Amino acid sequence: MDRTVVLITGCSSGIGLHLALRLASDPSQSFKVYATLRDLASQGPLLEAAQARGCPPGSLETLQLDVRDADSIAAAQARVTEGRVDVLVCNAGRGLVGPLEAHKEGSVDAVLDVNLTGTVRMLQAFLPDMKRRRSGRILVTGSIGGLMALPFNAVYCASKFALEGLCESLAILLQPFGVHVSVIECGPVHTPFPEKAEGGLGGVLDRADAETRDLFYRYLRHCERVIREAGQDPEEVVEVFLQALRAPRPALRYFTTERFLPLVQLRFSDPSGSSYVAAAHQSAFHDKAAEGSDGAGAEAEAGKLGASELRAPLAPQ
């Protein structure tokens, strides 16, 4: 029986690493996983974990692939010995956190290039063959930050909002081709993502005024609490990827957590945006729970929303 050939970007750590391991060690032994990494020098943790998990020989192969470099994508594609990829996982991503004016030179371009254009490059490389074969699945690692904006994540959210449009557009087109696109919408996940954020946490903060800096520190305290309370382990999140991968008729969106759905729904129930902006501001900057109280005051002020909604993740993702 032919194995399902899966190629994943961004496997040096986090979700990509755990998904590669999960599939390569699946008891069915039905997956051949090409785990790709921007820099092969960082493949140690993946290979050690694969050995510890007892991944069968030939179930996992690492390839260099930088989503910012079309030549490196083509070179990786040429090394897929099966001559086809059944499941493409566009997972590589980079965060950018801080006041807009504090982002370092080049950071904005870099993040858009990885998160958005990098995904487009991958699709341009792999989609034509899937269409020709009238078969294929594309899984894209999405984010709550692509469904509702988070403060101090303007460019990151812009990149993840853009992925939503990209994938939704393709999903409509691809129906008759038998190719399915799914976005796996993740809330906060315990990975090295914050530490790897472009330009470091906050960027050049002294470029921002004192009031903005104060709001940023408040937001960071809020994030700490949200990640502590709502952060998921990558092992839990990758099961949602498997759900999408195995679905006979995959949906466009899968959610790793339902915790933030009330806020997402608020964006649509008041199309003016005013309700969402007010609730999100309250949650991020007047988070009494993050300051040590029970948060009751903040809830009362926000009026319409209840505790769980106000405490929905507005953390960097």
Extract the annotated binding site for NADP(+): 10-38, 66, 160
Residues 160, 84: Cα–Cα separation, whole Å: 27
The nearest distance, CB 68 to ligand NAP, in angstroms, is 4
Any catalytic annotation for residue 219?
Answer: no
Question: Of 104, 196, 253, 281, which lies in the binding site for ligand NAP, with binding defined by CB under 6 A?
Answer: 196
Considering only residues 199 through 238, tell me which ones interact with ligand NAP, judged by CB under 6 A. none
Interface characters, 127-156, with ligand NAP (x: CB under 6 A):
--------------x-x-------------
| Phi/psi of residue 5, nearest 5 degrees | -90, 120
In whole angstroms, what is the distance from residue 50 CA to residue 244 CA? 23
Binding segment toward ligand NAP, per CB under 6 A, in 60-68, 98-106, 246-254, 301-309: 60-68
Q: Could you say which residues in the range 151-190 bind ligand NAP, by CB under 6 A?
A: 186, 188-189
- Please tell me the distance from the alpha carbon of residue 224 to that of residue 315, in angstroms, as a whole number: 8
Which of 256, 279, 188 has the alpha carbon at shortest distance from 225?
188
Exposure string over 244-264, b if 16+ CB within 10 A, otherwise e: bbeeeebeebbbbbebbbbbb
Examine residue 77 and tell whether it contacts ligand NAP (CB under 6 A): no
Nearest to 49 by CA among 64, 62, 68, 66: 62
**Contact call for residue 104 and ligand NAP (CB under 6 A):** no
Is residue 14 within 8 A of residue 190, CB to CB? The reply is no
Selected binder of ligand NAP within 62, 153, 191, 283 (CB under 6 A): 191
Structure tokens at 114: 């990885």
Shortest distance, position 134 Cβ to ligand NAP, whole Å: 28
Q: Name the residues annotated as catalytic.
A: 156
Using CB under 6 A, list all residues that contact ligand NAP: 9-16, 38-39, 42, 66-68, 91-94, 114, 118, 141, 143, 186, 188-189, 191-193, 196, 317
